[in-house]
Structure 1
Amino acid sequence: MLSLLPLLCIFACILQPLYACDSCYGPSDYTSHKRLVRRMQPGALNATTKPRGPLEWGQINFMHTTDTHGWLAGHLKEENYGADWGDYASFVKHMRKKADELEVDLLLVDTGDLHDGNGLSDTTTPNGVYTDELFTKVDYDLLTVGNHELYVTEIAYEAFANFSNVYGERYLTSNVQILNNATGEFEDMGHRFRYFTTKHGLRIMAFGVLFDFTGNSEVSKITKGADMIKEEWFIEAIKTEPVDLFVVIGHNPVRPGGNDGTLPIVQKAIRDARPDVPIQLFGGHYHVRDFIVWDETSTGLASGQYCETVGWLAMTGIKSPTFKGSMKPKGVPNPTRRAMVDGKIPPPAPPSYNTGGDEGMLYARRYLDWNRLTFAYHAVGSQDPKLDTKLGKWITGDITEFRKAQELATVVGCVPQTYCESCIPYGEEGNIFNLAEVALAATVINETRADKPRMILINTGSIRFDLVKGPFTLDDSYIVSPFPNSFMFIPDVPYAQAKEVLPILNAGPYQKKRSVSVDTHSSSMLAGRGICADPPLATSMKAKRDLLMPRSITRQPRESLDMTPGHTTTDDFGTDGDDTPHSEIPRFEVPNDVQANASFPTDGSEPEAVDLVFIDFIGEDYVLPALAEAGGSYTMEDVQYYMPPEFTSNQYLQEYAEMAWQEGMPNCGVDI
């Protein structure tokens, strides 16, 4: 729960805009902040396996983040991803310095979705008040908006105020507008495009495009990609001369195939108009590591999720009369691979160190694990203490203080074993959806109807992360099940109909948020409804990546040459993109929905009727149609609250932990 002090400070800042207002968790001037920790977060684990080798550096290079979802404190229980936003800020500073020394360009790109997934972002009102401000401490060159910035009116305005004001022309929202309350008119949330020249003379035209999202609140408006490319401003922008490189960033699947993805539409429109100019795309939304070849001079990169990955892309071969840097920087490996179409994978080449020649466009891509060992290796040659910068240490300390103020490390129970989303088959011990069924049956109880049989449905997309053995903290509640969906029900549904609902749902399409025409913040029935329109866990593309293997919170000695479980990526360049080698994690499909049964007859017989309980996200668009298919005749007029509105789907696991996982409290047998 948000403490009173942070709220008072937030309101103080709002009410006194003419005065400098220090953060409630430290002065706004990081040089005077009292740092509590040296690096990372207290208790966070550092990696033990080094990257496989130095990065390739090209004429222009990119560092890409996406779908951070509030994980700026890092993964405190997982050694592969233990760095925090302060460590990343220090890494950025060193890499920019290295780029200057090599006389090449380095651009930072982010493709949206900044909260809904971690207590650091989701314990404020609105979500992201703290993490959005912290995010802006890193000086990005190009950014765009994600769908999670647009569901709720207050969050949309918060993102608009923060990013448009801080990043200015670098915040690109080519097809997203927001309502100006003063004029009653829609205006661009950021900028439609950015035409600029890099430090070393490359002339770039950049766009930022959201997928064809329909779940936004009424204060924002999304233009479909197919319509945007017909607008006069876009047609004129892609005609701009001279352009050495087009960059298209988007909260969008980078690989074609989805019905709502817009990157293929934009890429084709640019390519048709400018067949000889390279096009580089950066995507997100699907939470995967991926690299795709569009044509010989156009590729796309996606860089994971949850502060697990920094995407790296190096390019060489752009011909420009104004470029004054190094085409092939000396003393470091250079890109060696051509972009080959028709499904051909270019063979790995030995590192090229300034070999000269004119080979056309050459590329290198890498997916960096988010930890200090990786950052230090690439930035300062594995000298860990040298990684720290003044800004980075301030950010780390500020995160520590905020976590304390929000009591995110408060332990409410001891998880007896690790539960994962997909590394163990659904139905077997250790699968988190089996745990969810047990927890739902034990906690979702309407006391006035407790003796009536009930069937409780949730969509598997409401659970977003694994649950690690050891302390269950308040932060874990937001990490594992972040969305505040209400529990609704239809009373006394004939069991013959109710028992058909789950099979129908699991035979149907993955459940995405419907388009709404009301303000989802102010409508009590829709508040928190369908928070996420992210893709299912078990799509064919998602099967290309692994989820994180949950790791013990205790430190385990390991030889540095041993591979830890982690990302093992296959993309259009093959299987060597992961910067740190990992052992593969098994991955099994999960259903669309799961169901808990409670208060059924003890003799094993079937009840005549049940209370059909479900979270509001799946009610109108999925449960009611499934009931109709099963022979029922129900409308939203028949739907009622089963639990008080304030008891939502991000609370039942915490309540279950307080009820069933008290053995070993308060430390759960580990040093925390």
Structure 2
Amino acid sequence: MPDYLSWILLAVAGGAFAAQPEAPQPIAAPLRELPWAQLNFLHTTDTHGWHGGHLQEPSFSGDWGDYVSFAKHMRDKADADGSDLLLIDTGDRIEGNGLYDASEPKGQYAYDIVKQQQIDLICTGNHELYKANSSEDEFYFTVPNFKDGYLASNLDIYNPDNGKLEPLAPRYKKFTTKNQGIRILTFGFLFDFQGNANNTVVHMVEDTTKEDWFQEAIRDRDVDLILVFGHVAIRSKEYDHLFKTIRSVQWDTPIAFFGGHTHIRDYKTYDSKAAALESGRYMETIGFMSISGLHGTKSKKPNSTSETDIYDDQTLIKGPKFARRYIDNNLFSLYHHSGKNDSTFPTEHGKNTSIMISKARHKLELDSIRGCAPQDFFLNRAPYPHASSILSLLELNILPDSMAKAPRVDKEDKKAIVLTNTGAIRFDIFKGPYTHDTEYLVSPFTSGFRYVPDVPYDKAKRVIDLMNNEGPLFDDIAKLTGLEKWMLLPPEQYQGRKDVHIEPVVESESDTQGWLDTIKSMGQTILRPVIAKYGDKKKDKLIPGYTTQDDLGNDGDDTVHSRIAFYNVPNCIQSPIGFNPSDEDDKPKEPEVVDVAYNEFIEAWVLLALKYLGHDVKQEDTAVFMQKTMTDILTEWVQEAWPPKKGKCG
């Protein structure tokens, strides 16, 4: 059936709602078929607690229960046609959504929700390791929940029961698929992360590949596929090294990589027999990869009659063929790809999982309203500075208003400069309710604010330049602490991205001033719309969304979208507190000294920058500036600036 015809028929068939009652109805859109084949994979990564789905974006409104139902139908399809299906998750399941962050202890409901899905291969991400308690939760909950599916090829933990250092999970495993008898050797890695708490040890990937167990494992010739999955960007030095190391001893064995960490949709071809998939962020995407032409012990052509079936009788001779698709996580897509409808799609297990999510959200009061946003504010879908940039809102309104209440500033009439990394903000603010859940979607981190007292202003004002420009600062920090420059940024900008269009910012000075004036006055009129909202089809027949360009071309997204613009942002932003350096009348009144306050997460960079500028201070010379996190500051500002009327918005 042609793609557009199937789109029309599904649209006519009537509406279907996501399992979470608050979620918006998905919007009919043209779809591309899944390239179903001999061996198939569903892949999630960087879900960051968004297991309830997106409650303000129809394109991503499916929840974890919907994914449970979808996976069941796809497993049934594999069993019926003699193919195989495996589910993979590559980490960062925590931090970034009230479903995880709002409970005490954190994750009180999240671990039980995640384990409802039958995931065949799973590993950790860096977010599971920042805090000792979250890595111990992996040890106590996630590892036993997924038993031998959890792998930790380069990760150890000090066993919280006996204090001994041991692998968090098995280093690797070998197994045979159910229907095709494909023998798979698999490893689960984490990138060379050095920001973990001291109860875990991450071994460098290059060092790990030199270990005897790894060298012995990769020399096993009785395998049909080597599968490397991990919380690793697919265009990284770690995966390049793993590919070269494996290929040096397995010159003809197909290799499949699954990655994560950079929050993007991407696919990479290493050679004719090796490829990699990365599947986005925040449960927006369910990644799909298929491979045909593998020599399994039961190899046979699946009984599929799909016109898009890429498996044929010659593929075993020709070698493997890889294909991919990025599925928008909403019921419109999931119904279509599973061949189900609103009455046949929900499984009992899936419905029960959705009920678990709904009950947890209710207990955590995630829908309780903190304020009412007058417009959309975007992290990357607006240029910076701009009236619709959340960073401009933070820099020009939230930080100055909030930090002026810090005890040292408020009581002693001190002047300050406050800096934060842009990666402290993780998501957009949409017009309408700013809820308890939104608090964690926008900024889930627990870092407070510290300061260096009485820094000469001529040095303090130059810190931001060092933080936002290339230079030895970042090389030295990496050598001293293992912290990398990318840690300052939103993850989507770590290595650039191919899944959306990167828009150059070329605007006139008067335009820029207009944006600033608008944001300062908190006007509700956006001077120039940056992006059409999801579902706004007045100007476009297609809804805006991902338009991925990867190594296979531009047809990877399952849903045909109009283009979203994406803008790069700086590493850090800053706000003056108690004075205005941009006002010409105030130039002679610039302070001689200021406190340099900062998000505690960026302390190492700030202190080294000050040292470069001739103001050498130690960590013990710093102090607490404000006993609040970024989450607290944002919420308190919203409650005061955008109060709801009688507990409601609009």
Query: TM-score, normalization: structure 2?
Result: 0.86
Q: Deviations over 1:415-440 (max 9, x none)?
A: 01101012221111111101111101
* Cα distance in 2 for residues equivalent to 1:97 and 1:332: 19
* Cα distance in 2 for residues equivalent to 1:218 and 1:132: 23
Match of 2:451 among 482, 486, 489: 489
- Alignment of 1:271 with 2:233, yes or no, is no
3-state DSSP of counterpart to 1:209:
strand
- Alignment of 1:392 with 2:341, yes or no, is no
Match of 1:563 among 530, 537, 542: 542
Q: Pairwise mapping of residues 477-626 of structure 1 onto structure 2 (< 5 A)?
A: 477-508=439-470, 537-542=492-497, 544-545=499-500, 562-600=541-579, 604=586, 605-619=589-603, 621-626=604-609
More helix by share: 2
Report sequence identity in percent.
38
Match of 2:329 among 345, 360, 370: 370
Partner of 2:83: 104
Moved more, 300-309 or 610-619: 610-619
The answer to whether the 8 Å contact 2:498/2:550 transfers is no
- Alignment of 1:113 with 2:81, yes or no, is no
- How far residue 56 of structure 1 moved from its aligned partner, in angstroms, is 1.4
The answer to whether the 8 Å contact 1:214/1:515 transfers is no
Partner of 1:250: 230
The answer to whether the 8 Å contact 1:317/1:327 transfers is no
Partner of 1:449: 409
3-state DSSP of counterpart to 2:343:
helix
3-state DSSP of counterpart to 2:41:
strand
Describe the shift of the 1:650–1:42 C-alpha distance in structure 2 as closer, same or farther (beyond 3 A): same
* Cα distance in 2 for residues equivalent to 1:168 and 1:517: 37
3-state DSSP of counterpart to 1:651:
helix
Describe the shift of the 1:517–1:97 C-alpha distance in structure 2 as closer, same or farther (beyond 3 A): farther
* Cα distance in 2 for residues equivalent to 1:372 and 1:38: 7
Q: Pairwise mapping of residues 108-147 of structure 1 onto structure 2 (< 5 A)?
A: 108-147=87-126
- Alignment of 1:642 with 2:625, yes or no, is yes
Letter in 2 for 1:606: E
Partner of 1:291: 267
- Alignment of 1:631 with 2:631, yes or no, is no
Partner of 1:171: 150
The answer to whether the 8 Å contact 2:425/2:490 transfers is no
* Cα distance in 2 for residues equivalent to 1:354 and 1:331: 15
* Cα distance in 1 for residues equivalent to 2:630 and 2:475: 17
* Cα distance in 2 for residues equivalent to 1:138 and 1:396: 12
Compute the RMSD of aligned alpha carbons: 2.9
Partner of 2:6: none
Describe the shift of the 1:393–1:512 C-alpha distance in structure 2 as closer, same or farther (beyond 3 A): farther
3-state DSSP of counterpart to 1:386:
coil
Q: Pairwise mapping of residues 401-412 of structure 1 onto structure 2 (< 5 A)?
A: 401-412=359-370
Partner of 1:468: 430
Q: Deviations over 1:32-66 (max 9, x none)?
A: xxxxx984212211321335232111110111110
Describe the shift of the 1:535–1:255 C-alpha distance in structure 2 as closer, same or farther (beyond 3 A): farther
- Structure 1 residue runs of 5 or longer lacking an equivalent are 1-36, 337-352, 519-529
Moved more, 496-505 or 307-316: 496-505
* Cα distance in 1 for residues equivalent to 2:93 and 2:373: 28
The answer to whether the 8 Å contact 1:54/1:332 transfers is no
3-state DSSP of counterpart to 1:568:
coil
Q: Pairwise mapping of residues 17-28 of structure 1 onto structure 2 (< 5 A)?
A: none
The answer to whether the 8 Å contact 1:52/1:581 transfers is yes
Q: Deviations over 1:547-592 (max 9, x none)?
A: 9x98869xx6859992111111110001110100111111222111
Partner of 1:654: 635
Match of 2:49 among 67, 70, 84: 70
Letter in 2 for 1:410: S
Letter in 1 for 2:213: W
- Structure 2 residue runs of 5 or longer lacking an equivalent are 1-15, 503-529
Q: Pairwise mapping of residues 275-424 of structure 1 onto structure 2 (< 5 A)?
A: 275-320=251-296, 322-326=297-301, 329-335=304-310, 358-381=317-340, 383-424=341-382
The answer to whether the 8 Å contact 1:461/1:537 transfers is no
3-state DSSP of counterpart to 2:544:
coil
3-state DSSP of counterpart to 1:300:
strand
Moved more, 108-117 or 448-457: 448-457
The answer to whether the 8 Å contact 1:420/1:550 transfers is no
Partner of 2:138: 159
- How far residue 633 of structure 1 moved from its aligned partner, in angstroms, is 2.5
3-state DSSP of counterpart to 1:69:
coil
Q: Deviations over 1:107-159 (max 9, x none)?
A: 10110011111111112244323212211110111111111111111111111
* Cα distance in 2 for residues equivalent to 1:387 and 1:494: 65
Describe the shift of the 1:512–1:663 C-alpha distance in structure 2 as closer, same or farther (beyond 3 A): farther
Letter in 2 for 1:303: S
- How far residue 315 of structure 1 moved from its aligned partner, in angstroms, is 1.0
